[in-house]
Amino acid sequence: IELSVNSSLSTTSLTRDLWDLQGTLGLCFSILALCGTRHFPLAPLQHHTFFWEGIDGSRVLTHFPPGDSYGMQGRVEEMLKTVKNNKDKGRVNHSAFLFGFGDGGGGPTQKMLDRMKRMRDTDGLPRVQISTPDQLFSALEKDSSQLYTWVGELFLELHNGTYTTQAQIKKGNRECERILHDIEVLSTLAMVQGSGFQYPASQLQRLWRLLLLNQFHDVLPGSCIQLVVEDALQYYAEIRRAGAGLQQEAVQSLCRELLEPEAGNAGSTLVVNTLPWERTEVISRAGPAGTETLGLVTAPSMGYAVVRELLLPPQPVVVRKREDGSIAMENGVIAACLDVMGHLISLQLLDPQRESVPDGCCANQFALFDDVPLYWDAWDVMDYHLETRKPVTTLLKPLEVTLAGGLRGSVTFSLQIGKSSTLTQEIILDAMCPYLRFLTQVEWKEAHKFLKVEFPVQVRSTNATYEIQFGHLQRPTHWNTSWDWARFEVWAHKWLDLSEHGFGVALLNDCKYGASAHGNILSLSLLRAPKSPDATADMGHHQFTYAVMPHLGSFQDAGVIQHAYSLNFPLHTVPARSAPCPPWSAFSVSSPAVVLETVKQAGPQGRHGEGRGVKLLVRSMACSSLAGRAS
C-alpha cells in the first residue's frame, strides 16, 4: 500500500478540497461536476475511497484520508493507523496521509519531512512518497473499478447546533440571497428591454462577495466570536442598503413610463414578480394620508402588471370568536381554530374536509429545552436535550382578533418563555392562500436554552422530505438505528414536508435552517442561547415567519415548493399612473416540475464589454421527474 503524503492540498483543475466540513449535502457533487471536478478529498467521515453520487446522478471520485486527521506528525504509529483504518483495502492501494500543524497551525516542520524521508521504503511500513492531489487521484482512478458508490448526503453526526446558532446571521443570509436574486432578475429584464440600462455587474460582484464571505466556515454556522458577528451583520446591512438602490434603479428603468405620475391619476399600483409563475396574493399598498390598504392582485410570471381595480376573492376570510375564547378562521381553502394560547387545535383542508391536527393534540406548540452540550457550545446540541422538553404555558396576553376578515384575517397573543423572554405572534390567513402564516417576534434573554415550535400532524410516513440547495431529499422519521437516531436535529431550507398517499402537511419558513420530523411531529428550531465563543449570541430581538400548509397529493403536485418560494420572495409594489397597460411577462415555465431559479447577465459582450445582443444565463432545477421546458 502506498501513501501519498500531502502537506498542502491545493485546488487544481480536477480536484476540489473541502476540509473540516460540518456535514456535506447531497447536491455538492452536482455543483462540483458542473465545475469540471472529478476528484474530491474530504475530512474523515464514513468510507475512505468511493464514488459519491448527488441527487441528480452526478458522481465524483471521493477520498477520505484513513488517518482521520489533517494534522499528523509523520510518526510510525500514524502510518500504521492509516493502513489499518483503510476500509477499502483490496479495492484500492493508495491513500493520503495529511501532515503538518493544521487547523490554522502553520504547516509541516523539517522534523516531519525527515521522518517521511526515512519511511520512503522501510520494511513493515507502507511505501511513502511526497505527492500532489492529482497524482493521488490518478492512481486511485486506475484502481476504481471495484469501488462502492454512496448516494446522497453524508450526515455529520456532530455540530447540529450550527443550524440554529446566531439567528440574525441566518436571517441576513436568507434575506440577502433574495435581494441579490431579485436584483439580477430585475436588472436583466431592464437590460433586455433596450432602454440603455447598464447591468450592474461590478456592484453585484462586490455584494455577492460580501455575502459569500459570510458563508465562510464559522460565520454562517454561528460558531464565531462576537467581533465576527458584528462584522457579518454590518456586511448584511451594506448588502441591504446597496441592494435597495440597485433594485430601485432596475425597476425605474424597466417600468419608467408606468411610474411617471399623471395629474389627477392616482391609486394604481405596479406589482412586480421576480418568480417564474403567476401569483395571486394579498398585498399591502399605500393609501391616502399615509395609511396602508390591502388588495388582492395577480402578477404575471417574472414580469409586472399595473393594478387599477383590485380583485375580489371567491370567498372572503371569515374570523369568528367563540364563547370559550377560541377563534376560528376560514378562507374557502383552509379552516383553522386556535385556543386562547395560540395553539392550533384544528386545521382543515376544506375541499375534502380533511383534518390535519390529530385528536387531543395541538399544533403551534412552543417548547423550551435545556441546551448544555458536552464540548462545543455554539456548535453542538446533544441528543439528551430532548429529555428536558418543557412546553411553554405562561400566557401574557390571550388570543384576540386584530383583523376581522375580508382580504385578511389575523389574531395575536403573547407568551412568556423561560424566566426572562417574551414571544408575541400574529397568526395571519389571507384570501385564497393555502397556508396559515405565523409572524413571530421574540425578546430573547435566555442562557443555554433551545426554543422550538412543534406541529403534530395526522399523517403517517417513515420518511419526511426536506429542501436542500436546488433540490430536496428524504430522511427517516424513526430512530431504528444509530444513524437514524443521529438525525434528531437536521437541516432544511425553506420547507419540510410529511406526506402519505394522497395527503400531507408542509412547514414553510423565511429564515430558519434547523428542523426535525419524528413520528408525526414536525418541529422547527427557532433560537438557541450558547455562551461560547460569543457570550452574547442570539440575545435581543428576533422576527421571523413560518407557515403550515396542508395539501392533497404529493408536495410537488400541491405546489409546496412554489409556495415556499413565494413566502420568501414577496411581490414588489410601486405607486404607478393609471393609464391602461397590459401585463408583461419575460419568462414562463411550461411545467411545474421545473423551477427557473436564476436569470442574470452571462458576462461581458465582445472584447471590451461591447457587442451586439445580450447573452443571458438562465439556471433552472427539476423538482420532480416530470419533463418540462422553459419558454
DSSP H helical segments within 255-272, as ranges?
Answer: 256-259
Q: How confident is residue 607, by pLDDT bands cut at 50, 70 and 90? A: very low
Cα–Cα distance measured from residue 239 to residue 353, given in angstroms and rounded to the nearest whole number:
45
Grid cell locating 68: 482521520
Q: How confident is residue 626, by pLDDT bands cut at 50, 70 and 90? A: low
Percent of the chain with pLDDT over 90: 74
Q: What share of the chain is helix, strand, coil (3-state, %, to 5)?
A: 25, 35, 40
Cα–Cα distance measured from residue 421 to residue 539, given in angstroms and rounded to the nearest whole number:
10
Nearest to 537 by CA among 238, 210, 230: 230
Predicted pLDDT at 545: 98
Lowest mean pLDDT among 87-91, 228-232, 409-413, 547-551: 87-91
Long-range contacts of 284-293 (CB under 8 A, 24+ apart): 284/573, 285/573, 285/575, 286/575
Grid cell locating 462: 417513515
Q: Which of 59-68, 130-139, 447-456 has the highest mean pLDDT?
A: 447-456
pTM for the complete prediction?
0.91
Single-letter amino acid code for the residue at 547: A
**Quick one: three-class SS letters along 131-192?**
CCHHHHHHHHHHCHHHCCEEECCECCCCCHHHHCCCHHHHHHHHHHHHHHHHHHHHHHHHHH
Lowest mean pLDDT among 453-457, 475-479, 593-597: 593-597
Q: How confident is residue 162, by pLDDT bands cut at 50, 70 and 90? A: very high
> Residue 35: is its pLDDT beyond 70?
no
Grid cell locating 470: 436546488
Digit-coded pLDDT (tens) for 290-303: 678 899 999 999 99
Lowest mean pLDDT among 111-120, 249-258, 540-549, 574-583: 574-583
Digit-coded pLDDT (tens) for 512-537: 999 999 999 999 999 999 999 999 99
Digit-coded pLDDT (tens) for 357-380: 999 999 999 999 999 999 999 999
The whole-angstrom distance between residue 388's C-alpha and the CA centroid of its chain comes to 28
Q: Which of 91-100, 251-260, 310-319, 383-392 has the highest mean pLDDT?
A: 383-392
Q: Which residues pair with 504 in a beta bridge?
A: 499, 551
Cα–Cα distance measured from residue 168 to residue 145, given in angstroms and rounded to the nearest whole number:
47
The mean pLDDT of the chain is 89
Digit-coded pLDDT (tens) for 95-118: 999 999 887 777 899 999 999 999
Cα–Cα distance measured from residue 324 to residue 344, given in angstroms and rounded to the nearest whole number:
15
Lowest mean pLDDT among 27-31, 164-168, 250-254, 429-433: 27-31
> Residue 604: is its pLDDT beyond 80?
no
Whether a cis peptide bond, with omega within 30° of 0, leads into 533 is yes
Predicted pLDDT at 527: 98
Digit-coded pLDDT (tens) for 411-427: 999 999 999 999 999 99
**Quick one: three-class SS letters along 270-318?**
EEEECCCCCEEEEEEEECHHHCEEEEEEEECCCEEEEECCCECCCCCEE
Cell 430601485 locates to 248
> Residue 224: is its pLDDT beyond 80?
yes
> Residue 161: is its pLDDT beyond 70?
yes
